């Protein structure tokens, strides 16, 4: 199973519009530090899944027919905004697996175009090609699923964003399934350095505590905000073995 | 007064996602034929206004402080989707003049970020720097304004999209104010060539009839769909003197 981080940024990304903080200046000067809307691309043999649709150029990056399905964590604009344009494709259907959120985002349900939304139920696995996705409820300001993703060789990857902590049943499920990899929301720096704790996202320490409890072989912090990047530049924090901060376009082979 | 057509496409633009019609293949092969989300940029001395916000890279194209305000025709995604990212700027305020649509689009009103929405009333002029904007009701599936835009030298430009026909009071107002330029919705080809007439947009003939009734010095057809472009390639229609089909990035000086 191959995971590509398409975007690793919090809402607004890095650089934030009009910001001249250390992290945003660095990203303006060097594209390697840019963080686009949080999303990923999962490949397993012929199965190719786009996980969240916040990239503004989604329609250019993924031509029709180049992927099996789109899977959504939730309907906040930074996770679905790429669909507003892509949906107006002229033929075919794009399956979009999503949480059971009756509101969706703007007029996506009213005018789905080529999108075929398929709401899923928590903890009920669904299949896309060779991959089994199990929706895991997260704790966020809108109905949100993380996903446990498993291939036929038993390689398991969990994608857990956006969330502030984890519900007990989700945590238990992740602890019961030994994970080869896990990506988790770590939007903010530790709270001593934050103006205020973000209500709907993990901060750095929360993310590390969850990794400690779940014990995946490898873990990545993602959905990173510019304040966290600035804090990392300032403090150069040491991460536990196997844990890294995700960056855009990184390709991870899990086996 | 200088008008730049940032985008001249109907929802979905040209090329449409996954389409291989004549117009879409042409646009894929040659970027000069691409039609981005319908929007414009109006400059008059130091006054710079972004008219509609559907460009996906709006935040890159228009750095903070490079424009005076954003003016919106309506809250359909193809006219506001660039705001979902831009709003998360870190400081300052961006005035956004808009029609009085209590719904807005998705969570733009709930989480405006740096955007300062300023709903306007029909036919009540407002001032942005040296430009006077008069909101003109249009006929569309959501509360929509066209705008009569006038500078201090009396140069007048009307921007009329999205609309199917024009309300009598809007038409009367445009006939009473001699126009130097006018951009009008012409989404679809003539109906004999269309599968069905579009309910919420002009077709080619409707747009030309309105131009004939309003008699601006110059006029541009905009919000063009791929079916119209294909029809134009096929039939090479002759336009009345002073009338052109708008294209992306065209710069027009009105005086
Ligand atoms: Mn998010
Ligand atoms: Mn969210
Ligand atoms: Mn439109
Ligand atoms: Mn519209
Ligand atoms: Zn910053
Ligand atoms: Zn086409």
Give the pLDDT confidence of A177-196 residue by residue, as tens digits. Answer: 999 999 999 999 998 755 55
| Whole-complex ipTM | 0.94
Regions of chain A where pLDDT drops below 70 = 193-198
- Give B-chain residues touching A57 at CB under 8 angstroms: 56
Residue B188: strand pairing partners: B203
Q: Is A177 exposed, middle or buried (0-12, 13-18, 19+ CB in 10 A)?
A: middle
CATH number for the domain spanning B8: value is 3.60.15.10
d(CA A41, CA A62): 10
- Give B-chain residues touching A87 at CB under 8 angstroms: 12, 17
- The ligand with the least distance to the CA atom of A233 is 5
- Judged by CB atoms closer than 8 Å, whether chains meet at A85 and B56 is answered as yes
| pLDDT attached to residue A92 | 87
Sheet holding B94-98, edge to edge: B115-119, B94-98, B69-71, B47-51, B39-44, B2-7, B251-253
- Judged by CB atoms closer than 8 Å, whether chains meet at B86 and A17 is answered as yes
Largest interatomic CA distance in chain B:
52
Q: For residue A103, which phi and psi values (nearest 5 degrees)?
A: -80, -35
Cα–Cα nearest to A8, from A241, A221, A227: A221
| pLDDT attached to residue A76 | 98
Range of the domain at B118: 2-253
- Give B-chain residues touching A59 at CB under 8 angstroms: 17
Sheet holding A181-185, edge to edge: A126-128, A131-137, A145-150, A156-160, A181-185, A218-222, A243-245
pLDDT tens per residue across span B49-106? 999 999 999 999 999 999 999 999 999 999 999 999 999 999 889 999 999 999 999 9
End-to-end CA, chain A = 7
Phi and psi based region of residue A154 (left: phi greater than 0; alpha: psi -120 to 50; beta: remaining) = left
**Hey, is the C-beta of B22 within 8 angstroms of any chain A C-beta?**
no
Q: What is the mean pLDDT of chain B?
A: 96
Percent of chain A at pLDDT > 90 equals 96
Tokens linked to A136: 């895991």
Band (B198; pLDDT cuts 50, 70, 90): low
Number of domains in chain A: 1
pLDDT surpasses 90 at B199? no
Q: Which residue of A has its CA nearest to B64?
A: A18
**Hey, is the C-beta of A65 within 8 angstroms of any chain B C-beta?**
yes
Percent of chain B at pLDDT > 70 equals 98
Tokens linked to A68: 């099996």
């Amino acid at each position: 199973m191959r995971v590509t981080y398409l975007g690793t940024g919090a809402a607004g990304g890095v650089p934030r519009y009009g910001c001249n903080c250390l992290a945003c200046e660095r990203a303006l000067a060097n594209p390697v530090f840019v963080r686009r809307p949080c999303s990923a691309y999962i490949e397993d043999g012929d199965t190719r899944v786009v996980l969240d649709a916040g990239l503004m150029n989604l329609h250019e990056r993924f031509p029709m027919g180049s992927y099996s399905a789109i899977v959504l964590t939730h309907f906040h604009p930074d996770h679905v905004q790429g669909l507003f344009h892509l949906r107006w494709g002229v033929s075919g259907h794009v399956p979009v697996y999503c949480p059971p959120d009756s509101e969706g985002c703007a007029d996506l349900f009213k005018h789905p175009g080529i999108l075929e939304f398929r709401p899923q139920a928590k903890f009920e696995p669904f299949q896309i090609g060779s991959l089994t996705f199990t929706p895991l409820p997260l704790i966020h300001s809108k109905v949100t699923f993380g996903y446990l993703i498993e291939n036929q060789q038993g390689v398991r990857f969990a994608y857990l964003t956006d969330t502030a902590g984890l519900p007990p049943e989700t945590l238990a499920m992740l602890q019961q399934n030994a994970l080869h990899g896990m990506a988790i929301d770590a939007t903010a720096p530790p709270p001593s350095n934050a103006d205020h704790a973000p209500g709907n996202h993990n901060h750095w320490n929360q993310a590390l505590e969850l990794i400690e409890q779940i014990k995946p072989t490898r873990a990545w912090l993602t959905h990173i905000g510019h304040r966290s990047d600035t804090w990392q530049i300032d403090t150069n924090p040491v991460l536990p073995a196997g844990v890294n901060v995700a960056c855009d376009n990184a390709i991870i082979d899990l086996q």
